[in-house]
């Protein structure tokens, strides 16, 4: 696919088909060739070397029959496993989808620590453009925890309605002829209807995270791509630059457009295992990471949008991270089409998992991934 010029029509990846099979097998690690993007620079003089620590890990059926593109496992900072499929290699950035939200959640912690904003600030204090929308009265903390009472149906199978206008605003879908498209910022001003109180149940609405990317730019004075570079990728020691998709006015798709190589995503997990520090330098505030583990509202989760996807599990959602509580805790980011970053504090594991699954969400492949992760974790007991 896309290996000749010009590509045969049936093999051409376009803005109209890039998130569907078989085109997504190529597209998810060539996103910047389809959607405009902004680079997230690393610091080549400060790369975090991952010591090779190969280990015979029984993957069982973890990747068998799955559209897994990359699997990287770190144990106590050592690289114990990495494998790539579907034409992807170690140097290829892959789209994180909504694991991008989790990266934003870490960067937000640096802004709070620097006094650039407070968790209790009203969104409209920073973005007065949104006075009169459904965001009125919502706080930064409400947005970080997906507890904004905003009417929006996150239906990935929809073929019309606000989610299609949202994708067009993000530059992710073609814009029909004669349509005057919004950008990500002007799209936010269309969201005027509430569906409940702010600070209530966990309510998953992706535009809320794009709003936070805009708010963090306003608070820090930095373009979002540069903010992620300066506060996370460069000081962490990322091996390669990343990038993030942008709309037609350069607005970052903080909710799902970030692209990193698998090793660098695993490095983010290792950084969290190290309390946010590397080589004595504090990159992400340790108190912020502790709050992710302990500060979530379990009642909000139990009455929220995703409780049925994890039946019976004691969970919360805090600062864009899913947290499994109990004696064997697990923290993870989750993105559609099979993107994950798993962090196991007890076993000191960081697992980056990239995929190009056909369905945006599938109970079958989600169950398979979590069962596979449990099998991998058990080998480090």
**Residues known to be catalytic:** 98
> What's the rounded Cα separation, in Å, for the pair 31 and 103?
18
Residues in CB range of 89: below 8 A, 6 or more apart: none
> What's the rounded Cα separation, in Å, for the pair 80 and 53?
5
DSSP for 312-369, written as a single string: T--EEEETTEEEE-SSS-EEEEEETTTEEEEEETTTTEEEEEEE--SSSS-HHHHHHH
Paired strand residues for 38: 244
> What's the rounded Cα separation, in Å, for the pair 272 and 348?
10
Alpha carbon 327 to its chain's center: 26
Classify the C-alpha dihedral 104-109-114-118 as positive or negative. Answer: positive
Bridge pairing between strands 349-355 and 258-260: unpaired
């Amino acid at each position: 696919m896309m290996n000749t010029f010009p590509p045969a029509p049936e093999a051409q990846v376009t803005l109209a088909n890039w998130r569907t099979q078989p085109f997504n097998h190529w597209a998810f690690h060539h996103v910047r060739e389809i959607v405009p993007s902004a680079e997230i620079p690393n610091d080549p003089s400060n790369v975090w070397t991952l010591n090779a620590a190969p280990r015979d890990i029984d993957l069982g059926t973890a990747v068998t029959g799955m559209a897994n593109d990359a699997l990287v496992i770190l144990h106590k900072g050592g690289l114990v496993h990495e494998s790539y499929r579907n034409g992807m290699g170690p140097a290829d950035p892959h789209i994180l989808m909504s694991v991008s939200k989790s990266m934003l959640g870490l960067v937000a912690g640096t802004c709070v620590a620097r006094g650039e904003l407070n968790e209790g600030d009203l969104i409209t204090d920073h973005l007065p453009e949104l006075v009169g929308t459904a965001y009125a009265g919502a706080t930064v903390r409400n947005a970080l925890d997906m507890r904004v009472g905003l009417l929006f149906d996150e239906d990935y199978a929809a073929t019309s309605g606000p989610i299609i206008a949202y994708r067009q605003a993000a530059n992710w879908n073609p814009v029909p002829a004669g349509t005057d498209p919004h950008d990500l910022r002007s799209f936010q001003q269309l969201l005027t209807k509430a569906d409940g109180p702010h600070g209530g149940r966990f309510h998953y609405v992706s535009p809320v995270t794009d709003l936070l990317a805009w708010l963090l730019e306003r608070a820090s004075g930095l373009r979002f791509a540069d903010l992620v570079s300066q506060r996370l990728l460069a000081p962490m020691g990322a091996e390669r630059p990343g990038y993030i998709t942008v709309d037609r006015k350069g607005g970052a798709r903080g909710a799902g457009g970030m692209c990193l190589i698998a090793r660098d995503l695993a490095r983010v997990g290792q950084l969290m295992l190290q309390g946010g520090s590397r080589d004595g330098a504090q990159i992400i505030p340790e108190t912020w990471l502790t709050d992710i583990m302990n500060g979530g509202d379990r009642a909000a989760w139990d009455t929220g949008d995703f409780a049925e996807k994890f039946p019976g599990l004691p969970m919360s959602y805090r600062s864009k991270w899913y947290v499994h509580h109990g004696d064997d805790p697990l923290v993870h980011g989750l993105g559609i089409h099979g993107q994950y970053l798993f962090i196991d504090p007890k076993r000191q594991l960081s697992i980056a998992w990239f995929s190009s699954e056909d369905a945006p969400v599938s109970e079958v492949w989600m169950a398979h991934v979590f069962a596979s992760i449990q099998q991998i974790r058990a080998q480090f007991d």
